[in-house]
Amino acid sequence: MSARRPLPRWADVALLPAINLLLAFLVSGLVVLMIGENPLHALQVIFYGAFGYGDGFGYTLYYATNFIFTGLAVAVAAHAGLFNIGGDGQAYVAGLGAIVVALALDQTHWLLVMPLAVLAAAAVGGFWAFVPGWLQAKRGSHVVITTIMFNFIAAALMVYMVNRVLKPATTMAPESETIEVGGRVPQLREFFSFFGYSPVNLSIVIAVIALIGVYILVWHTKFGYAMRVLGANPTASRYAGISNSKMIMITMTISGALAGMVAINEVMGVQNRLVLDYVAGAGFVGIAVALMGRNHPVGIALAAMLFGALYQGGQELQFVIPGITREMIVVIQALVILFTGAMEGLFRPALERTFMLLTPEQKADAVAVSTAKTES
Amino acid sequence: MDFAVLLSILDATLRLSTPLLLACLAGLYSERAGVFDIGLEGKMLFAAFGAAAVAAITGSMWLGLLAGISVSLATALLQGVAAISLKGNQLIAGVGINMLAAGLTTFLGQTWFHQGGRTPPLGDGGRFPQITLPFANELAGVPILGPIYAELISGHYLLVYIAFLAVPITAYVLYRTRFGLRLRAVGENPKAVDTAGISVIKLRYQAVLITGLLCGFAGAYFSIAQGSGFGNNMTAGKGFIALAALIFAKWKPVPAMFTCLLFGFLDALQIRLQNFELPVIGVVPVQAIQALPYVLTVILLAGFIGKAVGPKAGGVAYTKER
């Protein structure tokens, strides 16, 4: 007796995430209410802080750039049925590639430094994801556990590298040397004064290219097709003559390379040196972004903007309403992950039943089912 | 290295491996029942906060412990609803819980206590005291065995003894009781359990709640035994080390204890070895020792030192029929 019908595509892609997102915001609103602040006022502050003026909007775009990269990283892996939880570590070590290239070519021009740094960051980030991919493909270890472990190994490695290897003898702070001005990724404010002092930079162009690239890769190439077959049914893909282990390794490498692009935005565009913990959990936000965006570049772009706005608006929030701290944004993020990811099934049955009543033949079905239930 | 130094390292090992052991056994129940739990960290953090907050307000360690356990149980229940009833992705549920814990504890801590997310330092009644076992002081003078008894075995927090007591209990429950048999079965082949007329859902909820209980103890240990109050993100990745230990121990209670002791020992060694020069190698980077548990787990998972195979039905929600 399978009376349940799948939802229409638009409801699955847009309506259900929207409802779940609303629920996440509602619960966040309750938390705000609990500490005696007005959630609507908070929302207004967030919105103005994120979109209301040039600087704020620039910051929103800057955060969104990171989230597009990590969101795409999670999404690409997800299409092949892999859950890459290690975006944080991959983005973090990618900074090594970026900084080494940037420091080596310091005196030249950014037009030379940037592409090479992109390649280096992609290579290092890709490698950090390739190893878990290889371990899953060849040795059967679960990619989720290995990427978690690799996050921690990355953290330890970077503390060592920054403190012992990259730190110039003259400074006390745990950070690498600073890149010369000529080698830095240009800020958008150099072209548009609208953005004020915000750190949004040319990396956003790479983010847009990455979005388009992933769209083409997943839906318009043979490789993307093989990837989706693997994700949908590994047995079928093996019988279709696709090498599953090769696919897993390549997909994970692409995923890690995408996560590695965070290093371009942060190290080359904003910090101009390698500092500790610069990824600041962007890899985990990527999980929420990919879940909300349904692993589609358009969805990811929108979800990344939403989280960018939340981050920037959240910064603003703690100045305007002192009772609310930055962590409120982490709470909202977590609720989004819980409701749109893990508890995604919460409203699905009810929604499916509602939709069944909308079309005539489905309504007849539904009536038949309910009478069958009462008779039995 | 002389005897006193060795003794103090081993003493620190016991203290550092206690929360690992509690969390590791917690994960064992849940994962043996077929529910992957990467939310151990989050549950401990919630429990640590709950325990410290209540202990700070009431001044009672027992109420603190109770609060920590309750908060952890509630979190486990939330995770259970997502992973068992709603058949959501168990891994994503865990990630969500971890994030929620990191955000909410700091946020509420800041709002309630206004100390940058910390709880106020706890006084005497709010913290677990170190227990001196009988005759510890009298026997301290006996060579070799005396100091071992007085410093290594005696003088720990109650929760340390509970953690190590939980090992034989877990082994007994898992291998000698009907509940344990069913628990193991539901992680390997839920369909068979269902066919035998036993509720898969109920069993898994029971397992997840035991996980919550043990994480409650572990969290309380952080804030009201080892520490005197809650600090931001004070579990600092220990939940993931516990997860690594669980894999390393191949989901078995007694090996879990030895793995946790090993990881605790590495931790103790790492604290000792800071700026300490070894004869041949020179200064070992502290980070290398910190990363060792994770590296070992990766190597083990890759099957290079034995094979770690988890419960077969782990990670998938049970659906009766399609």
- Record the pTM: 0.87
Tell me, yes or no, if A284 comes closer than 8 A to chain B by beta carbon.
yes
CB < 8 Å from A in window 30-69 of B: 38
Nearest to A327 among B90, B107, B322 (CB): B107
Can you tell me the ipTM of this complex?
0.86
Please report, as a single letter, which amino acid is at residue B55.
Answer: A
The values of phi and psi at residue B131, to 5°, are -90, 130
The values of phi and psi at residue B302, to 5°, are -75, -5
- Mean pLDDT value across chain B: 87
- B247–A145: do the CB atoms touch at under 8 Å? yes
Quick one: what percent of chain B has pLDDT higher than 90?
41
Pair A311, A329: CB distance under 8 Å:
yes
Q: Which residues does residue B283 pair with via DSSP β-bridges, in sequence order?
A: B277
Burial of residue A315 (number of CB atoms within 10 Å: 0-12, 13-18, 19+): middle
Q: What is the pLDDT of residues B193-240, one digit of tens each?
A: 888 888 999 999 999 999 999 999 999 999 998 888 898 888 888 998
User: CA distances (Å), B217 to each of A4, A53, B26, B109, in order?
Assistant: 43, 49, 10, 20
- E-only strand ranges, chain B: 130-131, 156-157, 277-278, 282-283
Task: Output the pLDDT for position B281.
Answer: 62
List helix spans (H) across B145-189. 145-147, 158-176, 178-188
Q: What is the pLDDT of residues A68-118, one digit of tens each?
A: 999 999 999 999 999 999 999 999 999 999 999 988 887 788 888 889 999
Please report, as a single letter, which amino acid is at residue A154.
Answer: A
Structure-block tokens of residue A159: 């503390």
DSSP-based three-state secondary structure for B231: coil
Whole-angstrom Cα distance, residue A178 to residue A165?
14
List helix spans (H) across chain A. 9-10, 16-34, 39-51, 54-79, 87-104, 110-139, 143-160, 203-220, 222-232, 234-239, 244-260, 262-263, 282-292, 297-320, 327-336, 348-356, 360-375
Pair A50, A64: CB distance under 8 Å:
no
Return the closest-CA partner of residue B260 out of B75, B11, B86, B17.
Answer: B17
Q: Which residues of B touch A156 (CB under 8 A)?
A: 287-288, 290-291, 294
Mean pLDDT of A52-62: 91
Pair A225, A57: CB distance under 8 Å:
no
- Mean pLDDT value across chain A: 87
Q: What is the pLDDT of residues B172-200, one digit of tens each?
A: 999 999 999 999 999 998 888 888 888 99
Whole-angstrom Cα distance, residue A275 to residue A277?
7
CB pairs under 8 A between A and B: 142
DSSP A168: -
Residue A197 clears pLDDT 50, i.e. is over it: yes
Return the closest-CA partner of residue B10 out of B153, B134, B113.
Answer: B153
Pair B314, B34: CB distance under 8 Å:
yes
Residue A89 belongs to what H/E stretch? helix A87-104
Q: Cα angle at B244 between B239 and B249, to 5 degrees? A: 120
Q: B147 CA to chain A: closest CA distance, Å?
A: 36
Q: What is the pLDDT of residues A264-315, one digit of tens each?
A: 999 988 888 888 888 888 998 899 899 888 899 999 999 999 999 988 998 8
Pair B71, A331: CB distance under 8 Å:
no
Termini Cα distance of chain A: 13
Return the closest-CA partner of residue B222 out of B37, B59, B72, B35.
Answer: B72
